[in-house]
Amino acid sequence: MLRAESLLKKAIEIEPENPNFHFELGNLLIEKNDLMGARLEFEQAVMIDPEHLASHYNLGLVYGEFGLTAEAREEFRKVLELDPRHIKAELQIGYTYANEGFFDDAREAFRKAQEMDITDPEPRRAIEEVDEMEAEARLKSRSELRQAFEQRQFLLNRGMAQGFMDQPNQTSTAGKQALIQTGALLIQQWLTQRARARAETNPNEPN
């Protein structure tokens, strides 16, 4: 992982306007539990490319972990602008509302997600969960309710968008390490090819 991080940082030094490098570094920092570092990389990626869907999605997840629910929803809505049938973004909007206690808004988002794919069981489970949360809310004090919400940890564990992976949460630790190693190899190849091209163009330039 350290080698992959080093290669990504080197790639960014050479090509700082490449949003994919910032996105992949952000994902790597998530693996290291460096949420602030990941946040900065995802923010940089969407600044470079406002249509970088996966960076908007992951940035929304990280904002949610910082308690910035309004900012998180804004990022998920940007995902939906780019892909109106992005079911996970709609679900995340619902989770942010649920974490704030806006149960009707949460259910509305979950139902929209359900309409996107009636075969996906997650929207139905989410509606059931928010019903349970609303029932708890009637029985708990405000402080107890906040503690209960925090324990549910809706965000971040629900679908990090990592590159080409469709179901990253179902990937084993060994699988994630293999992906990191593959990414490092590809970046190393890119750096080598770039250095070779520069040497051919400028044969007198020192390495």
The SS3 of residue 203 is: coil
The domain spans of the chain are: 51-166
Alpha helix ranges (H) inside 83-203: 87-100, 103-116, 121-137, 142-152, 173-201
70 and 93 Cβ atoms separated by less than 8 Å: no
H or E element at residue 10: helix 2-14
What is the CATH topology of the domain spanning 51-166? 1.25.40
Tens digits of residue pLDDT in 36-67: 999 999 999 999 999 999 999 999 999 998 98
> What does the pLDDT look like over 123-161, one tens digit per residue?
999 999 899 888 887 776 666 656 665 555 444 444 455
At 22, the pLDDT band (50, 70, 90 cuts) reads: very high
135-153 burial, b for 16+ CB within 10 Å, e for fewer? eeeeeeeeeebeeebeeee
Contact 77, 103 (CB under 8 A): no
Amino acid of residue 25: L
Are the CB atoms for 65 and 41 separated by under 8 Å?
A: no
* Contacts of 151 by beta carbon, 8 Å cutoff, 6+ apart: none
Residue pair 106/130 in contact by the 8 Å Cβ criterion: yes
The one-character DSSP state at 158 is: S
Which tokens hold the place of 198?
A: 């520069």
pTM (predicted TM-score) = 0.73
